[in-house]
């Protein structure tokens, strides 16, 4: 992996920050902090930059910049505390699914599925409740399990038994015996090193990294001019040392996220559990760094004066959007145990190892 800054990445990051700086922030203390989904205000910025083609290969009419570009877009959306209008279409493109849809139910994948698919004649019936990016779309891409494998199913918002609730945040979609057919299955969600789920996890990890980085930047700026006890807050060790430790955590997380994206692009055989580790690490970093940033800014962090509350509420919801960090770490641990057992028997996994989740 070449750590030399890529001039194209630098220019792309600058263009994204310039465009996202013009997106009006929702500074209200109540209600959703952002607008997610294809109807979000960040869509115009991404469309103007042609973000939909960043990851697509040149043979398909894209720019062929790889997952690294998608990770960069996600990070900058999080840094600006904007809604994520990129992830759903990016994942749909990976699976040749419908554009303009909203993702739902990915939070339960590490432990199973929040939506049960019960077999019926000609397909399945979906039952359960999941979080969704946006309820103002025509199609929901719902993660569930059929026949022992995780799949993404396209469900019309007006389908029988499907209801949505937008009074809470994140919004919720509920299914009560909602019928779907095999034709509605967009694709499988396996752990292949370059598969759609792997790519989606790294995009989400970058989004969480951006949320944490944006909150930390805001806290450092505030501590740089806020005076207390006759000096700047940033000059007090009790404030500066934790902020410095948070910077180290951010840099370590950024390295994990971009290393994972680079591996998917250039060394798929070496990917392993790197995407899952990056997502778990980014979720924990977002929670810790945003909490510290709130504490560093005191009561003003909970007002519309700084807007840090947007990062705080985003981190609370997004850190579990693709699975709780503890569940993700268990996946990594289970993989390490399987690898150790295979190595112990000369490459052949024992029966017990094959039954681990």
For CA atoms 64, 65, 68, 73, the dihedral sign is negative
- At residue 350, the pLDDT reads 53
Q: What is the pTM for the complete model shown? A: 0.92
Lookup: tokens for 250: 């951010």
- At residue 354, the pLDDT reads 47
Closest CA to 282 of 308, 242, 310, 314: 314
- At residue 356, the pLDDT reads 45
- At residue 284, the pLDDT reads 98
Lookup: tokens for 150: 């995780």
Left (φ > 0), alpha (ψ -120 to 50) or beta: where does 307 sit? left
For CA atoms 281, 282, 287, 293, the dihedral sign is positive
- At residue 174, the pLDDT reads 96
pLDDT tens track of the chain, all 357 residues? 777 778 999 999 999 999 999 988 888 878 788 876 777 789 999 999 999 999 999 888 889 999 999 999 999 999 999 989 999 999 999 999 998 999 999 998 877 778 999 999 999 999 999 999 888 899 999 999 988 889 999 999 999 999 999 888 899 999 999 999 999 999 999 889 899 999 999 999 999 999 999 999 999 999 888 877 778 888 889 999 999 999 999 999 999 999 999 999 999 999 999 999 999 999 999 999 999 999 998 888 888 888 899 999 999 999 999 999 999 999 999 999 998 998 888 755 555 444 444
Which one-letter DSSP state was computed for residue 200? H
For 350-356, which contacts have Cβ atoms below 8 Å and span 24 or more sequence positions? Answer: none
Cβ neighbours around 95 below 10 Å, total: 20
Which residue reads 């103007």 in tokens? 48
Which one-letter DSSP state was computed for residue 168? S
Angle between helices 196-225 and 308-318 (to 10 degrees): 150
């Amino acid at each position: 992996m070449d750590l030399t800054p890529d001039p194209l990445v630098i220019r792309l990051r600058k263009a994204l920050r310039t465009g996202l700086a013009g997106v009006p922030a929702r500074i209200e203390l109540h209600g959703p902090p952002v607008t997610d989904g294809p109807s979000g205000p960040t869509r115009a910025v991404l469309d103007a930059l042609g973000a939909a083609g960043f990851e697509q290969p040149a043979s398909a009419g894209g720019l062929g910049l790889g997952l690294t570009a998608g990770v960069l877009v996600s990070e900058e959306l999080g840094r600006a505390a904007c809604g994520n209008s990129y992830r759903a279409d990016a994942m749909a493109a990976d699976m040749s699914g419908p554009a303009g849809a909203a993702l739902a139910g990915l939070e339960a994948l590490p432990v199973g599925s929040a939506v049960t698919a019960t077999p019926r004649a000609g397909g399945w019936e979906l039952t359960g409740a999941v979080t969704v990016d946006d309820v103002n779309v025509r199609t929901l891409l719902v993660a569930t399990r059929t026949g022992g494998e995780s799949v993404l199913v396209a469900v019309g918002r007006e389908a029988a038994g499907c209801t949505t609730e937008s009074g809470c945040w994140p919004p919720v979609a509920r299914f009560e015996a909602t019928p779907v057919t095999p034709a509605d299955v967009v694709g499988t969600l396996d752990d292949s090193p370059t598969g759609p789920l792997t790519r989606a996890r790294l995009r989400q990890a970058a989004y969480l990294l951006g949320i944490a980085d944006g909150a930390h930047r805001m806290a450092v700026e505030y501590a740089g001019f806020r005076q207390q006890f006759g000096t700047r807050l940033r000059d007090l060790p009790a404030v500066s040392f934790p902020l410095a430790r948070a910077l180290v955590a951010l840099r370590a997380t950024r390295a994990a996220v971009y290393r994972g994206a680079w591996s998917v692009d250039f060394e798929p055989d070496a990917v392993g559990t790197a995407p899952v580790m990056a997502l778990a690490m980014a979720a924990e970093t977002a929670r810790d760094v945003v909490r510290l940033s709130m504490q560093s800014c005191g009561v003003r962090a909970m007002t519309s004066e700084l807007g840090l509350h947007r990062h705080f509420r985003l981190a609370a919801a997004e850190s579990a959007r693709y699975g709780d960090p503890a569940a993700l770490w268990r996946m990594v641990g289970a993989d390490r145990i399987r690898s150790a057992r295979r190595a112990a028997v000369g490459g052949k996994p024992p029966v017990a190892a094959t039954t681990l989740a």
